[in-house]
Amino acid sequence: MYAVVDIETTGNGYKGQKITEISVLVFNGETIINEFTSLVNPEQNIPPFITNLTGITNAMVRNAPKFFEIAQQVEKITKDLIFVAHNVNFDYNIIKSEFNSLGFNWKRKKLCTVRLTRKIMPGLPSYSLGNICAGENIPINGRHRAKGDAEATVELLKRLIARDQNFTINSFLNPKSRQATLPSLLDKETIDNLPEKAGVYFFKDATKKIIYVGKAINIKQRVISHFYNKKKKEQQMCLEIAHIDFTETGSELLALLLESSEIKKQYPKYNFAQKNKREAIGLFAYEDQKGVIHLAFNKLKLVPNPLITFFTNTACRKFLEHLCEEFVLCPKYCHLQTNVSRCFHHQLKTCKGVCCNEESVEKYNLRVQKAIRSIGIGATNMVIKEKGRTKNELGFALILEGNYKGIGYIDKVQEETLTQPEDYQFYVEPKRDNSDIQKILGAYLRKKSKLEAENNGKISI
């Protein structure tokens, strides 16, 4: 037994949508045996474009029952039945949200006629209800009205049942089957063809516009995990996923770096982190006429060889303040205190007095040089070698003069001929440096350094 459902809504985004009309048709596989149809007062205005689409006006719903007044009828008529709708997650999640707002945990087994039609009637140019019905000569008495669309969905379901020679509907209703959880616009074959390897995946909508970029150690497992997520943002995103592309990277680090670059390049609507584009700040060192080594910072484009890159003045100042404290440096010569003859820290005994000739320049510079060496990547050239996409391939991230240049891949035999980090730039896919890249690389190098220190500290007997 099926409860075939269609709703009309205010259309104010997934979180704000409210029901304006609902129709539930109880279908036994052959005929409709029960029905509940009602306009619903959404307790908010219906936008003009929605009225133009559905014909439902604010005046029509003004005296209609609110959802809480019909909730018991909806609960009763759908109880113990299979909830069926065209693009089922849309209707189901909005109705469930209405019940949740009343403190009621409403659950039903679901069946999607979009997914069923894709499986039983493959190759159609479109799987919208209107286009399927036009192709099948199914009349719709009231398009974009709840009862008219629900009646058309019943007729479509009847034809799908008649053509289901491979027990597709049973497999869809099997709780162990992934069919019930996949987005309605997505083919099962798309998921089946995803690799179980590290890389970056791209969710695209029906127009093939990228709406989300993610990284994974196992692409297939991570993609499927989105479909089980109960957060509203994830549910809304899944309703829009029609295509999935992916790029294998060989390692998690290279996936993280590629993901960060692609988010800033594509600016997908469902990626909320890593979107900021800020001008970089470079920390650099120079020697003045007295021979004192200064640490200073400026816009990256004015700093040819930065010791390290930041993306806010605040982050750079905090880092310098930490260096001053750890290596007992002078804030005046770190440009943290300007227009002063001697730094304030000297009075607090946290500066040894290079700014007032109480400490020799030579002794002070030794600590500055030690601080510079502690920075990490610094202005060094570095190749971070990682697992490639195949057994004969090496993946790598390239850093030249402290700046991230991108990731690349090279045959292991050919890699043996490269002697300097600069040689790798001919095999790299150029990428922009940014604060998120710096965080990823910094965390990776710190973890690697810690592991090496732990391994070196082990004593073999």
CATH number at residue 33: 3.30.420.10
Flag whether 352 is in a domain: yes
Flag whether 274 is in a domain: no
Average pLDDT, the chain: 88
Does pLDDT of 215 surpass 90? yes
- Quickly state the pLDDT bin for 460 (edges 50, 70, 90): very low
Lowest mean pLDDT among 99-108, 295-304, 360-369: 295-304
pLDDT digits (tens, 9 = 90+) for 410-423: 999 999 999 899 99
Out of 22-26, 288-292, 305-309, the most confident range is 22-26
Do 199 and 296 lie in a common domain?
no
Lowest mean pLDDT among 136-145, 163-172, 409-418: 163-172
- Residue labelled with tokens 């971070």: 384
Rounded mean pLDDT of 194-214? 95
Does pLDDT of 136 surpass 70? yes
pLDDT digits (tens, 9 = 90+) for 397-409: 999 877 889 999 9
pLDDT value, residue 459: 41
Please say which residue of 374, 405, 431 terminates a domain: 374
Please say which residue of 356, 374, 392 terminates a domain: 374
Does pLDDT of 331 surpass 50? yes
Rounded mean pLDDT of 276-280? 63
Please say which residue of 374, 391, 406 terminates a domain: 374
pLDDT value, residue 177: 63
- Quickly state the pLDDT bin for 339 (edges 50, 70, 90): confident
How far, in Å, CA of 177 to CA of 192, rounded? 13
Does pLDDT of 14 surpass 60? no
Do 390 and 412 lie in a common domain?
yes
Computed from CA positions of residues 78, 143, 162, 94, in that sequence, does the dihedral angle turn out positive or negative? negative
Do 36 and 132 lie in a common domain?
yes
The residues, ordered by sequence, that sit 6+ positions from 152 with a Cβ below 8 Å of its Cβ are 129, 133, 138, 139, 140
Full domain range(s) for residue 323:
281-374
How far, in Å, CA of 435 to CA of 427, rounded? 24
The residues, ordered by sequence, that sit 6+ positions from 312 with a Cβ below 8 Å of its Cβ are 278, 281, 435
Take residue 293 and report the two structure tokens written for it: 């080594």
Does pLDDT of 120 surpass 50? yes
Lowest mean pLDDT among 29-33, 97-101, 103-107, 230-234: 230-234
Rounded mean pLDDT of 83-110? 92
Do 65 and 171 lie in a common domain?
yes
pLDDT digits (tens, 9 = 90+) for 217-260: 999 989 988 887 667 788 889 889 999 999 999 999 999 999 99
Do 11 and 122 lie in a common domain?
yes
Do 156 and 107 lie in a common domain?
yes
Total domains, the chain: 4
Take residue 419 and report the two structure tokens written for it: 């002697």
Asked whether 310 and 294 are in contact (CB, 8 A), the reply is: no
Do 48 and 89 lie in a common domain?
yes
pLDDT value, residue 376: 54
SS3 358: coil
Rounded mean pLDDT of 33-47? 94
Do 169 and 50 lie in a common domain?
yes
Do 76 and 193 lie in a common domain?
no
What secondary structure, in 3-state letters, does 70-135 show? HHHHHHHHHCCCEEEECCHHHHHHHHHHHHHHCCCCCCCCEEEHHHHHHHHCCCCCCCCHHHHHHH
Take residue 6 and report the two structure tokens written for it: 């269609």
Does pLDDT of 203 surpass 50? yes
Do 91 and 203 lie in a common domain?
no
